[in-house]
Amino acid sequence: DVKVTQSSRYLVKRTGEKVFLECVQDMDHENMFWYRQDPGLGLRLIYFSYDVKMKEKGDIPEGYSVSREKKERFSLILESASTNQTSMYLCASSLALATNEKLFFGSGTQLSVL
Amino acid sequence: GDSVTQMEGPVTLSEEAFLTINCTYTATGYPSLFWYVQYPGEGLQLLLKATKADDKGSNKGFEATYRKETTSFHLEKGSVQVSDSAVYFCALGSARQLTFGSGTQLTVLP
């Protein structure tokens, strides 16, 4: 089975800190995604990557950046954390970008920015 | 743009009750449709999918039919169990990404 591992389950940071969220997948998937999950809003796509060193903005990229130096690892970076970035962050991967392709999700990182 | 509108929760049912969670979508072209489930403390898992009109996806007793005429993909189960308690997300796949609905929390009481 595909495993998508997020480095932290819970994280507490201060406003203005630089925050790194790490995600690793073990199935050689081409595509990786970062979503944030908020009550009543569902999942919203922040960024995705379809190849090493490639990235594309999703629906809500403001305040975030990403890094994909190796195929298995996709990092989400909050350059200067703000309280409105308190959320559950979910990483996902898939074999292809076809519209009917299944996503595999990590178990999430609950980030609190104080 | 593409969007998914999902029945608001929370939904509370007794064990063995019939479940329907409504999902409608707006999209250009011919999207694929999905239901994902999130159990407490876990990430999302694919529950079922349908890739074209009139397709029926099914898994673990859950079913959903891709209805192009009503732009709907309602999730149904004939007899729910306590273990079905989770958050259910409807999603639409088009272009290069999935668009998710807001999620419906289901609680099944014994």
Instruction: Report the range of poorest mean pLDDT among B28-32, B34-38, B102-106.
Output: B28-32
Is A43 in contact with B100 (Cβ distance < 8 A)? yes
Q: What is the pLDDT of residue A95?
A: 84
Instruction: Report the range of poorest mean pLDDT among A17-21, A51-55, B36-40, B65-69.
Output: A51-55
pLDDT tens string A100-110: 678 899 999 99
A11 close contact with B: CB closer than 8 A: no
> Does an H or E element contain B76, and which?
strand B75-77
List the Cα angle B53/B17/B60 in 5-degree steps.
Answer: 50
A106 close contact with B: CB closer than 8 A: yes
pLDDT tens string A8-23: 999 999 999 999 999 9
Instruction: Find chain B residues with C-beta within 8 A of A44's C-beta.
Output: 100
Percentage of chain B surpassing pLDDT 70? 98
Residue A66 token pair: 């990403």
Chain B residues with CB under 8 Å of a chain A CB are: 4, 6, 31-32, 36, 41-46, 49, 51, 89, 93-98, 100-103
> Does an H or E element contain B49, and which?
strand B44-50
pLDDT tens string B57-67: 999 999 999 99
| Closest residue in chain B to residue A97, using alpha carbons only | B96
* Distance (Å) from the alpha carbon of B13 to chain A's nearest alpha carbon: 20
| Closest residue in chain B to residue A47, using alpha carbons only | B97
- Spatial contact of B47 and B33, defined as CB atoms under 8 Å apart: no
Give the residue-averaged pLDDT of B79-108. 91
A30 close contact with B: CB closer than 8 A: no
The whole-angstrom separation of Cα B5 and Cα A110 is 25
